[in-house]
């Protein structure tokens, strides 16, 4: 029993260490857009190229880019930001497959705990762009939607890129969740926007930024709520 309690105490210390280290590395980052998407897309994929284009447009307007630091969409976005000489942040995590660190990062951090990484994904965010992806991407999408829906974060642009990819999910949300079972409200479907191009996504983010220049996803109170919950 004593050894079990000691192990848990060390776990808490590791979590605290990851939080403090991440916050200290990014404390001067400023406004950023977090870009999510599949690790499985190669360089010649249209979504890889789109994320690269989007990131370049954003950093040229003084907005940093944050990704999960891996291959695929993450690499495309980091690459676009890096090549445009902007702030290119990668928040990597240790996984048994797929998650190898891409080389296009001005700041690269590695995490053991998903929820610490998620906190840092949203801490500086003035917007989120979600490209096609798998379970991890869906998890990140619905995490952000839940934070905005429950008002644990400020209203922030959530942009889905790729109408063909996302349409089936949107239809299910509308028909099954809203119309058949009423487990969400009509307003919940207005929390995100679907586009097809990098330029459309950039415009939504930058227009919001021009209207709310000092806004980020989390205000101080909400950050305390988030930290107390973990």
The pLDDT-based confidence of 26 (bands split at 50, 70, 90) is: very high
Model pTM score: 0.89
In a domain, 168, yes or no: yes
CATH of residue 61: 3.40.50.450
In a domain, 6, yes or no: no
Convert 140-164 to b/e letters by CB count within 10 Å (16 or more is b).
bbebbbebbeeebbbebbbbbbbee
In a domain, 30, yes or no: yes
CA distances from 30 to 25, 26, 86, 195, 214 (A): 12, 8, 12, 26, 10
The pLDDT-based confidence of 185 (bands split at 50, 70, 90) is: very high
* pLDDT tens digits, 80-123: 999 999 999 999 998 776 568 999 999 999 999 999 999 999 99
In a domain, 104, yes or no: yes
Structural domains of the chain, count: 1
In a domain, 2, yes or no: no
In a domain, 20, yes or no: no
What's the mean pLDDT when you consider all of the chain? 91
The pLDDT-based confidence of 162 (bands split at 50, 70, 90) is: very high
In a domain, 4, yes or no: no
In a domain, 8, yes or no: no
Average pLDDT over residues 125-149: 97
User: What is the domain extent for residue 34?
Assistant: 25-229
Residue 227 pLDDT exceeds 60: no
Average pLDDT over residues 157-171: 98
* pLDDT tens digits, 29-79: 999 999 999 999 999 999 999 999 999 999 999 999 999 999 999 999 999
Residue 143 pLDDT exceeds 60: yes
Between CA 21 and CA 31 the distance in angstroms is 19
Contact between residue 129 and residue 33 where contact means Cβ atoms under 8 Å apart: yes
Chain position carrying tokens 């950023």 = 32
Residue 221 pLDDT exceeds 50: no
């Amino acid at each position: 029993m004593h050894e079990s309690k000691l192990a848990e105490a060390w776990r808490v210390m590791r979590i605290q260490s990851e939080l403090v280290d991440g916050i200290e590395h990014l404390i001067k980052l400023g406004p950023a857009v977090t870009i999510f998407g599949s690790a499985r897309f190669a360089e010649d994929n249209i979504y890889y190229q789109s994320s690269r284009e989007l990131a370049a447009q954003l950093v040229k307007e003084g907005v940093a880019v944050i990704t999960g630091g891996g291959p695929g969409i993450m690499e495309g976005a980091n690459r676009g930001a890096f090549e445009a000489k902007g702030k290119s942040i990668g928040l990597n995590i240790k996984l048994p497959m797929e998650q190898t660190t891409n080389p296009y990062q001005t700041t690269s951090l590695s995490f053991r705990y998903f929820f610490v990484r998620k906190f840092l994904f949203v801490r500086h965010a003035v917007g989120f762009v979600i490209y096609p992806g798998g379970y991890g991407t869906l998890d990140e999408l619905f995490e952000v939607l839940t934070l905005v829906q429950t008002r644990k974060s400020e209203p922030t642009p959530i942009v889905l890129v790729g109408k063909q990819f996302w349409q089936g999910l949107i239809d299910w949300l509308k028909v099954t969740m809203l119309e058949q079972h009423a487990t969400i409200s009509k307003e919940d479907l207005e929390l995100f926007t679907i586009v097809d191009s990098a330029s459309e996504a950039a415009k939504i983010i930058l227009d919001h930024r021009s209207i709310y220049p000092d806004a980020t996803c989390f205000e101080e109170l909400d950050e305390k709520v988030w930290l107390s919950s973990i």
